[in-house]
Structure 1
Amino acid sequence: MNRTPKERREIASLFSGVDFDPLPDSVTTIYGESVELCNERGEWLDIIRFEHVGYARKMIAWRRPFHPNVYLDWIIRLWLIDRLETSTDIRPVKAVAAIVSTLAPQEQSAEAIHDSLSAEFERVIPSLINKKHEMALAGIRFFYRWAVDAGLPGFDEETADLLQWGYAKRFLVMNPLMALRDPVRGPYTSLEMSVLNEAIRNSKVISVRQRALFLLCRDWGLRPVQLALLRLEDIGDDDLGPFVMVPSVKGTRRSRLRRSPGNMLKRHIADDTANAIQKQAACAAEQCASFQKHLTQMRLGGKKKMALPIPLFPCIDRGDERLARFFRSPAISEYALHEDSIHLSKEIVKLTNALSIPQSRFDPRQCAGELMLVSAYRLRRTMATSLVLAGHSQEEVAQALDHASASTVRYYFRYSRDFHEFINATAEGSAEIQSAVRSWEGRLSSDVTSGDSLKIGSLGLCTLGKPCPYHPTVSCYSCHSFRPSAQADHEAALQSIAALQLKLRQSCTGPFNDQLSAEVAGAISLIGYIRQQKTE
């Protein structure tokens, strides 16, 4: 039965005992865009569309009920409107709406509806955790918080336990250690970065735009949305060298500000990056100039020249319908020429085939001849691990990567010094380890006389005579070609390998575990040998 919005409000009010206000005909998003909810006859639109500035155009079905129960449907609509006005992301609403749509409550009161919802959420939360459905878990928490604040019947502080359960610590949902050790999507090794840089520098097939995108990600691990928000005015030079002003996008408050002056961070860049973005800036200015006439005619009838800011990475093939939506809301019209972050992300991934660098590290998921994946988030993880290995604090890493707090970068640091000291104490009491210690005699980098050795970061040298196909900190310590440096931080490498071994012990069996055991033993014995050398 097709009821009018007025009829649905009256039914929801009578059902719950709450005198709901009519839903608005339009809503203003957190970015200032006015989004119509009704047509000229006062009927709900089939679909509402709006801009998630810097990301993409979003849409959600609006006329179709979220649930047959009018009251339940009404409160989901209220929450969605509140989310549009106060947040930057409606994915939690969609996730919760999908769960709610499966309910078939026969209850005749708002309190009973609450009880059915609570029971259903309690039922699905364990499964959501197992499936790593973080957005749905967050949505349950956000929905309950909103319902309590709105004073809806049945929702009160007694739901706090469910709120905490629905939150589900990210470490239960995600497996960051596996992501960091993934040879396909994890950070690049130093050798891989060297090969990538060389390929980017010498390639004749990649575009000016792709080169600038890659180098900005390499220098600062920028997210695609940060790239999408950059403009020509953000490029500069000072006493310390070339820089780019980058918008901060992480955190509830900062993500709303987008390009507000106080939300921009100065990031100094390498000379090759500066050269690349200067060339891209020239291309962007030329592209936008050719598009300017069409924009002026569309917005002002060609009577007055319209001056929009020029993005560093513009979108010049945006459809008229979407452009018109930007221009209807002055608060977002300045972003009309900015490319969507998803398209920039895809442009970086296209470098995979353009560069065609063979994947050298073994991955059982891949067939022989696979190419090394290039992506913005691989470069971001590489930046993070490089900062950690260089000795930066959690706060410094969080600030460099534009994280909301230091707690969200802890997994890059993995295991504590206390854990490492426990391993050391165990090793010192082992007769087998003491025997293994002696096996390193004559194998330090200082003992190498040949000039054909390859440097492996700060760990030492490799006498293999060709690039190693494995990650240095997971393969060197059981390899006869490795010549470690006595000054290197092998303790940090040991922590890394031991952490991976512990993480995989519950989920992986076979040769890989044996390899890791050999690596741990090799690293422990090396540390013991170096200590002995220092005391003699």
Structure 2
Amino acid sequence: MAIKENTHKVMDSQQLLPVNSEATLASAFPHKDRSITTRLGYKIEVKDDSGAWLQKIIWTDDNGSATLIKTDMFFTGQADIDQITSAFLHHLLIRYLGGSIQNYAQGVELFTSEIIQGKGIEDALNIAITHIHRDSDLTAIKRLVEWFIAYELPDLTYDFAEEILKLSRGGDQNTYSSLFTLDAELGPFTREENAILKKALIDPYIHLEDRVILALCMTFGLRPIQISLLKQSDFIERADMGISYLNVPRVKQGQPTRRTQFTKRVLNPESATLIKDLISIHQNVYADLNLSDPPLIMRRTESFSRKEEH
């Protein structure tokens, strides 16, 4: 059966009948099966007469505007993966709005592009995680991993998948800056004030410990009690995944014990470097204390200040 250019063949279990059989085309891929109904009730064409995904799908909404969905972002050329991403794409098209589908496509492409370049499943996921630019990228990758687990994709271990699913980010700083950086009386900081804070993160004349606290507050909006509960062991550097993250303690009112539940927060390279440097200095300065699991933020001493300067 001929497959049109710029389309992706549907991965299904149907047995293909002889080429050029009009009866085959009519029974296998009738016109009604080439369209789907979106969550807004609109019918949109998504496949061609051979049953392959159209390369570009026009997703319309109630406002008369249209969103262009590029389906090639979901496919790799490997049947075992494309069978799953095909089902995932179909799921998105009938349940999500156009803008959300576009966001998912961009996140999924971080993975599929690496597979196309010859990477294995877990290696491709590792690289995709290091290239995320926004929360929606990580959401798409985590959702894709859930589908891989459901379809029992080979070469993806449950332990590795669990590590991916536990990851979270602090969010787009432009989106969250008004929430994480504000004055109790005067409200959100201005753009100029935020610029000063960002500059402070790289100012060597400001105590390293202060810069770490500032980075945690600006990136994740951590509460003071969460910062005080952090330990050096909560900083995890995964060389195999190419990322670093913090196990941030969850704090709830009425919680009888602390440090029982954690959220994994992916660190940007700059924050990870600050924390690594801080831990290194603390391990040197406070070596005589023989602490088994020291806190990340410790009381500053003159000795610490001298060590930081050198």
Q: TM-score scaled by structure 1? A: 0.28
Between structure 1 and structure 2, the one with the greater Rg is: 1
The structure in which a higher percent of residues are strand is 2
Q: TM-score scaled by structure 2? A: 0.44
The structure in which a higher percent of residues are helix is 1
